[in-house]
Each structure stands twice: as structure tokens, then as C-alpha cells.
Amino acid sequence: MTKPVPLSDFRACRHVLEEYEYATGGEEIAPTDLIERRVWNEITRLPDDIAIRISNHHGIRLKLLHLLHRDWVRATGNPLKPDNLFNGMLDAADCFQCATFNFLHGYYRSALSDLRSALELVAIGAFGNIKPDDPVYLRWRAGGADLTFPSCRKRLQRAVVGAPLAWFLKAGAWPEQVYYDLCRYTHSRPDASDGSLWESNGPVYNGRAIRLTFEMTLCVYAISYLLAKIGRASLVVPNESLIVFELDWLPGHQEVAKAFDQAWAKR
């Protein structure tokens, strides 16, 4: 049996935006096909339960993920003069936001899959900035070709050969390791499925999965900033996001810190 969250808890009430609060898009429409209470409850009760449990114990982590997303949106560039990296970073921002939402609701595998998409989108955007006339990139933009992270990494490495961060793009370096690790969850391999992360048959609070998802999110933010810097020399990391390069307990810290020092040597 479920029980309602006490109304004294701010998480007990849902809120909707007024029409004028939409920055762009969105419209106010009166209900035309209201969902049944039973269906609503069956869809939302389990993830609602996990969201309450995770936010009971990981407020600081969730605040950091929220701040990182906010900073990332600020770093995307000038929307009035977008370069080829702008849309990649903007789409990656949506992936980061989805990852945090899925993380909060216990869908750890989906969150990790969102991170893989973010990493790929930033790599493609960086490559598009460096080689805007590349035939494969142009076909990808037109929907006529695939441009996966492994292929894009190789192309980026060739494009910046001799540059300070070329080593960061080598086969087997940290970005590629992270990408292939995320692929395990995207494709639900036996040891990386929803069930293996939950150790259950539905979303549950699992400390191991929470740590994994949180750490991988920070790793992808760090790598994504470095990829974006390769694609746009003028890119600056907002101050509150510098933490992803400073946490010495984070996997890949040594490579990321070295790359950061080289990328922003004149800071």
C-alpha cells in the first residue's frame, strides 16, 4: 500500500507553468482526454517513491547536477550567431537534463544512455566546427550518414594532430573508455541492464547504481567541456563547473586534469 507524502513536504505538490512563463513554445490547452486516476497512479507511483528516497539522501549531488546543467546551457554560445558546435551543445544540454531526471527517478540505465548521447553530440559538434566542409559531416547533417563517437573521435584526432589535446583523442584514451562503458548500458548488456543496476524488477534505491550514475555524469561533463574546447578555442568553463576537473576521486581524474591544464593554460 502507498501513502501520501505529508503536505508539509514541498515535494508533495505538483506545479504547472503559467502560459506566459514559457520562454519559447508551449501553449495553454484545456484538458481534452484526462488520464484515469488508476493509470496515472500506476505510471507514477514507483518512480515518485524513488524520487523521494533519492532526494532524501542526495540533495547536494542533485544540486550539483542542476548547477552543472545550468552552466552548460550558459556555455553553449551565442544563439544569435550559432556555430556548428552550438546545436550539439544545446542538444547535449537536453541529454544532461534528462539524465538528471532519470537519475532522480531511479532509471539509472536510461540516465547513463542519455550521457552517451551527450558525449556523441558534443564530439560531432566539435568536429563540425573544425571541419565544417567534411563530406561525412555534411551528409550526417542532411541525414544521409552515420557519425558515431568512435568515427568522430578518429576524425577529430586527425584534424588536430600536433595540437596540445591530440593525445586526449587517441584510441584507448579516457573519452573512448567512457564512451564504450556507456555503450554497455545503452545496449543493456547482461551486466549493465536495468535489472542488474536495480538488483530488482523495477526502479529502487540502489547505492551502487546511484554512485555509478553520479560519477559518470561528472566524467561526461568534464570530457564534454574538453571536446567543446577542442572545437571552439574561445570556450570558457563557468566557475561553478570547474569542480569536475578538481575532484581527485573521480575516475579518469589524472587525464582530465592534465587535459584541462593544457586546454586552459593561459587562464
pLDDT in tens, 178-232: 999 999 999 999 899 999 999 998 999 999 999 999 999 999 999 999 999 999 9
**How would residue 30 be classed by pLDDT, with cut points 50, 70 and 90?**
confident
Over the stretch 82-92, which tens digit does the pLDDT of each residue have?
999 999 999 99
CA angle, residues 16, 112, 169, in degrees to nearest 5: 125
User: What is the pLDDT of the chain when averaged over all its residues?
Assistant: 94
Q: Which three cell numbers stand for residue 171?
A: 584510441
| 3-state SS class at 74 | helix
Nearest to 57 by CA among 104, 119, 19: 104
User: Are the C-beta atoms of residues 219 and 178 closer than 8 Å to each other?
Assistant: yes
Number of C-alpha atoms within 13 angstroms, CB side, residue 188? 6
| All structural domains of the chain with their residue ranges | 59-263
Say what the pTM is: 0.94
